[in-house]
């Protein structure tokens, strides 16, 4: 029997009864890879992926992030196989607005029909009647937030919410202007943008969302396909008898109480290592050292190999 960890305390999504541990799990890494097609097809070890999810939840993870375009469909089907019937209190957060091309590309799928299909794909593949949280992921620029109205797709998603298919709505890959626009249309419970020790464009946005009780959920918390690597991170980690990835996660958890982390891994060893980051205390001195690390646009940390 695995011991359930407290996993960095809890956070309740605003206006909801959904309360999650601040350290969760991102399921994107569970899909496979086929040549240059990332997050594509089944993993080499499906049973291993199932065992990993089951251990995550048995250890206290109650926030799993996913999308039906991971695989596509594969990751959600593995989640269903591993975790359904879902235990009470498990919150599955998914995202819509992209589909996959045969070449593995990520294609915007923002129309009312595409969003409706995406919500039904998620329901079917996860084996759910209603989705806890659906993030509308802006695809105006695939790689980074780009200005432009999201009113039309968000209105379509809000209608699916009114039909009872979605409990709560979040946003991903968005600008401050788009968040403000969205909040005039529908309550927003979380924002999921690219953010980590080296990529800190959202520093002030995190504080602003915290004031309104909205969760900020960094994607690529460990650097994504090119995991973080820096001398400072390694030096701090060895000082604390921890690993660089544990320090990177602990730093995020120390950033602000509204930050929830969803590190992704396909490795049970890495999962166990990452969960222990919840208990890692960073002193003010250590935080100063980490905060002084150069940001990505200053050219450091360096990237490790592509996955």
Ligand X SMILES: NC(=O)c1ccc[n+]([C@@H]2O[C@H](COP(=O)([O-])OP(=O)(O)OC[C@H]3O[C@@H](n4cnc5c(N)ncnc54)[C@H](OP(=O)(O)O)[C@@H]3O)[C@@H](O)[C@H]2O)c1
State the residue number with the nearest CB to ligand X: 264
What is residue 219's three-state secondary structure?
A: strand
- Of 43 and 164, which has the nearer Cβ to ligand X? 43
Identify the H or E element spanning 17.
none
Rounded to 5°, the CA angle 235-271-174 comes to 85
86 labelled catalytic: no
CB of 58 to ligand X, least distance (A): 18
C-beta of residue 67 within 8 angstroms of C-beta of residue 75? yes
- Angle between helix axes 151-162 and 176-185 (nearest 10 degrees) is 40
| CA distance linking residue 260 with residue 173, whole number of Å | 16
CB of 92 to ligand X, least distance (A): 11
- Of 110 and 219, which has the nearer Cβ to ligand X? 219
- Of 71 and 264, which has the nearer Cβ to ligand X? 264
CB of 3 to ligand X, least distance (A): 19
Q: Which residues bind ligand X (CB under 6 A)?
A: 26-29, 65, 95, 137, 172-173, 192, 219-224, 227, 245, 262-267, 270, 273-274, 307
C-beta of residue 175 within 8 angstroms of C-beta of residue 147? yes
In the set 70, 86, 195, 216, the catalytic residue is 70
- Of 134 and 164, which has the nearer Cβ to ligand X? 134
CB of 21 to ligand X, least distance (A): 16
Rounded to 5°, the CA angle 262-186-212 comes to 60
Beta-carbon contacts of 60 under 8 Å, excluding residues fewer than 6 positions away, are 4, 5, 6, 7, 21, 275
CB of 59 to ligand X, least distance (A): 14
Beta-carbon contacts of 138 under 8 Å, excluding residues fewer than 6 positions away, are 97, 145, 146, 148, 150, 171, 172, 173, 174, 178
- Of 29 and 122, which has the nearer Cβ to ligand X? 29
- What are the structure tokens assigned to 119, written together? 């919500």
Task: Cite the active site residues.
Answer: 70
């Amino acid at each position: 029997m695995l011991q359930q960890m407290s996993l960095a305390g809890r956070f309740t999504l605003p206006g909801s009864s959904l309360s999650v541990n601040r350290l969760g799990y991102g399921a994107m890494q569970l899909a496979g890879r086929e040549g240059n097609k990332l997050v594509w097809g089944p993993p080499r070890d499906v049973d291993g992926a199932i065992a990993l999810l089951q251990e995550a939840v048995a250890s206290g993870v109650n926030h799993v992030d996913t999308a039906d375009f991971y695989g596509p469909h594969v990751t959600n089907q593995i989640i269903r196989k591993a975790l359904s019937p879902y235990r009470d209190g498990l919150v599955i957060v998914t995202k819509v607005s992209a589909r996959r091309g045969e070449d593995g590309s990520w294609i915007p799928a923002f129309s009312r029909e595409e969003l409706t299909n995406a919500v039904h794909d998620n329901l079917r593949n996860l084996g759910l009647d209603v989705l806890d949280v659906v993030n509308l992921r802006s695809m105006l620029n695939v790689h980074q937030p780009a200005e432009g109205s999201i009113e039309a797709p968000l209105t379509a998603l809000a209608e699916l919410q009114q039909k009872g298919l979605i409990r709560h709505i979040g946003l991903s890959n968005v600008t401050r202007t788009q968040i403000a626009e969205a909040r005039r249309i529908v309550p927003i419970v979380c924002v999921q943008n690219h953010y980590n020790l080296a990529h800190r464009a959202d520093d002030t946005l995190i504080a602003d969302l915290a004031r309104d009780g909205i969760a900020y959920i960094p994607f690529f918390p460990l650097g994504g396909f090119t995991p973080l690597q820096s001398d400072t991170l390694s030096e701090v980690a060895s000082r604390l008898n921890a690993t660089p990835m544990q320090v990177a996660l602990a730093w995020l958890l120390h950033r602000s109480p509204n930050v929830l982390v969803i590190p992704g891994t396909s490795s049970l060893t890495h999962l166990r290592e990452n969960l222990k980051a919840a208990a890692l205390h960073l002193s003010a001195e250590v935080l100063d050292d980490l905060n002084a690390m150069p940001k990505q646009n200053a050219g450091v940390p360096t990237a490790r190999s592509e996955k």
